[in-house]
């Protein structure tokens, strides 16, 4: 896929599944509005130095359009109380209650009709306006210095630079989970989370591209800001993650419980990326490498900012065994390799449009694509039988050397 036309094809598909920048801006406005609310003097969290930050795909700039027209966007946010709440002064339940009280006041003040919903680790608010999405807010507090130091050392042992390891380890927090046995009592054993650290690590991988770094510096200077938000980078790595997530969504459309989580795809893609300057080259490297980055022993896919955590823990969980998650992951990866190789080599706009629709749920215009690629359209009668993509996906073989 390392040719100009092939790269343009992949770029066109990536653009078709991306969300408009206005959607990112609207999400950002929500974060800022909520952050301002938590900072009010009368807010329950005011005395605890609350820090509101985005997390998940909006933070990484890897959001994709919902497969269904009426689908919702997931907008994830963290609320970290910087002072006054510790594991020795509050229970997880109490922390969640403090944050929940402010969210309820916010819901009423902003006229959000649906009641807030309590999830295991967060509170959910549902918006219904020009952009339908639900906002999940995860309460947290800073993790202890000792735990952060140990995590920093573990990150360095993975080969990460000491400066980056220190940066991301210091962003580690402790979160609430009502499934924990100690949820309602004072106890030191809280779950760890570090979405901000993961975002910083992901950004460090994007910056392997010298071309991107130079472009960001120029664009930031023109915008008169220190640095552009990640959603405006439009890097090859971000585009690749979007493409793979969408391919996964189509492949597992009728098997939602079996699909690989985005964090696995994002982590393996970022680790496989080598700084390629265009999407097609990056995608080729990622697809040929990411399977080799799944460890044969636990942790199979370690969290880059907490190496002891395994993102594939459900693969071996007895409660999830009937989903055959590992087998399905390998089958999907092999199919993604086949599909993107085929699409990247195709030169007939009609067939590219068909493949983009069937494999990625992307809507392209054959005439416009023909103009952009500088190739002619096929006449309907000239489309050879059997050139369309098969209805049933090919069953791949698991790469050798992996359990």
Which residue bears the tokens 């493949």?
355
Q: What is the mean pLDDT of the chain?
A: 90
Mean pLDDT calculated for residue range 60-73: 86
Helical ranges in 209-253 per DSSP H: 210-223, 236-251
The pLDDT-based confidence of 66 (bands split at 50, 70, 90) is confident
In a domain, 391, yes or no: no
- pLDDT score at 30: 87
User: Can you give the pLDDT at residue 357?
Assistant: 95
306 assigned to some structural domain? yes
Asked whether residue 213 is domain-assigned, the answer is: yes
Residue 14 pLDDT: 95
Instruction: Burial-class residue 268 by CB neighbours within 10 Å (0-12, 13-18, 19+).
Output: buried
Least confident piece of the model among 141-145, 284-288, 346-350: 346-350
Closest Cα partner for 85 from 172, 150, 143?
Answer: 143
Q: How far is CA 137 from CA 71, 92, 173, in A?
A: 20, 14, 14
310-331 pLDDT, tens per residue? 999 999 999 999 999 999 999 9
Is residue 224 domain-resident?
A: yes
DSSP label of 234: -
- SS3 label, residue 54: strand
Containing structural domain, residue 329: 4-382
Give all strands (DSSP E) within 59-206, no chain letters: 73-81, 117-118, 123-127, 133-142, 173-175, 191-193
Decide: residue 209, CB within 10 A, 0-12 exposed, 13-18 middle, 19+ buried.
buried
pLDDT at 356 over 90: yes
Quote the number of domains for the chain: 1
What share of the chain has pLDDT > 70, as a percent? 92
- Tell me if 396 is assigned to some domain: no
Instruction: Check if the beta carbon of residue 59 is closer than 8 Å to that of residue 230.
Output: yes
Would you state the pLDDT for residue 3? 77
Tens of pLDDT, residues 357-402: 999 999 999 888 888 887 765 444 344 444 444 444 433 333 333 3
Between residues 31 and 194, which one has the greater pLDDT?
194
pLDDT, tens digit (0-9, with 9 covering 90-100), for 176-208: 999 999 999 999 999 999 999 999 999 999 999
Q: Where are the beta strands (DSSP E) in 56-98?
A: 73-81
Are the CB atoms for 116 and 136 separated by under 8 Å?
Answer: no
- Asked whether residue 388 is assigned to any structural domain, the reply reads no
**So what's the pLDDT on residue 95?**
98
Place of tokens 């499934």: 179
Q: What's the average model confidence in pLDDT over 212-223?
A: 88
Residue 142 tokens read as: 């800073």
Predicted local confidence at residue 130, as pLDDT: 67
Q: Is the pLDDT of residue 1 over 70?
A: no
Residue 390 lies in a domain: no
pLDDT of residue 228: 87
Residue 211 belongs to a domain: yes
Average pLDDT over residues 98-124: 96
For residue 121, what pLDDT band results from cuts at 50, 70 and 90? very high
Q: What is the pLDDT of residues 123-161, one digit of tens each?
A: 999 887 667 788 999 999 999 999 999 999 999 999 999
Q: What local confidence, expressed as pLDDT, does residue 294 receive?
A: 98
Is the overall model pTM greater than 0.85, yes or no? yes
Q: Characterize 34-53 residue by residue with b for buried, 16 or more Cβ atoms within 10 angstroms of its Cβ, and e for exposed.
A: bbebbeeeebbbeebebbbb
Q: What is the mean pLDDT of residues 217-223?
A: 87
pLDDT above 90 (res 109): yes
Output 198 or 113, whichever has higher pLDDT: 198
Phi and psi angles of residue 229, each rounded to the nearest 5 degrees, phi first = -60, 150
């Amino acid at each position: 896929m390392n040719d100009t036309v092939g790269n343009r094809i992949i770029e066109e598909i990536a653009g078709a599944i991306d969300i408009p920048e206005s959607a990112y801006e609207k999400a950002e406005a929500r974060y800022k509005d909520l952050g301002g609310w938590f900072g009010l003097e009368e807010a329950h969290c005011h005395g605890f130095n609350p820090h509101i930050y985005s997390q998940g795909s909006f933070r990484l700039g890897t959001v994709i359009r919902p497969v269904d027209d009426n689908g919702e966007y997931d907008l994830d946010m963290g609320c970290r109380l910087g002072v006054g709440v510790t594991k020795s002064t509050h229970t997880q339940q109490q922390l969640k209650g403090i944050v929940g009280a402010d969210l309820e006041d916010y819901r009423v003040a902003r006229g959000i009709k649906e009641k807030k919903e309590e999830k295991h680790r967060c509170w959910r608010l549902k918006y219904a306006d020009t952009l339908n999405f639900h906002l999940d807010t995860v309460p947290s507090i800073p993790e202890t210095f000792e735990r952060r130091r140990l995590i920093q050392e573990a990150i360095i042992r993975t080969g990460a630079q000491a400066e980056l390891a220190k940066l991301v380890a210091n962003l580690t927090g402790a979160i609430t989970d009502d499934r924990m046995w100690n949820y309602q009592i004072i106890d030191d054993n809280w779950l760890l989370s570090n979405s901000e650290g993961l975002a910083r690590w992901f950004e460090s991988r994007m910056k392997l591209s010298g071309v991107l770094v130079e472009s960001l510096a120029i664009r930031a200077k023109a915008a008169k800001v220190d640095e552009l938000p990640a959603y405006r980078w439009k890097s090859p790595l971000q585009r690749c993650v979007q493409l793979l997530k969408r391919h996964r969504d189509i492949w597992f459309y009728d098997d939602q419980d079996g699909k690989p989580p985005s964090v696995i795809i994002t982590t393996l893609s970022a680790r496989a990326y080598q700084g390629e300057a265009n999407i097609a080259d990056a995608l080729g490297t990622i697809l040929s490498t990411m399977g080799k980055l799944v460890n044969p022993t636990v942790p199979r896919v370690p969290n880059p900012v907490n190496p002891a955590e395994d993102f594939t823990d459900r693969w071996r969980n007895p409660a999830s065994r009937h989903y055959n998650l590992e087998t399905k992951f390998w089958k999907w990866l092999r199919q993604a390799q086949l599909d993107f190789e085929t699409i990247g080599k195709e030169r007939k706009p009609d067939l590219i449009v068909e493949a983009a629709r069937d494999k990625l749920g992307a809507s392209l215009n054959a005439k416009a694509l023909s103009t952009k690629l500088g190739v002619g359209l096929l006449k309907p009668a000239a489309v050879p039988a059997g050139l369309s993509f098969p209805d049933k996906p090919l069953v791949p073989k698991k790469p050798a050397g992996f359990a």
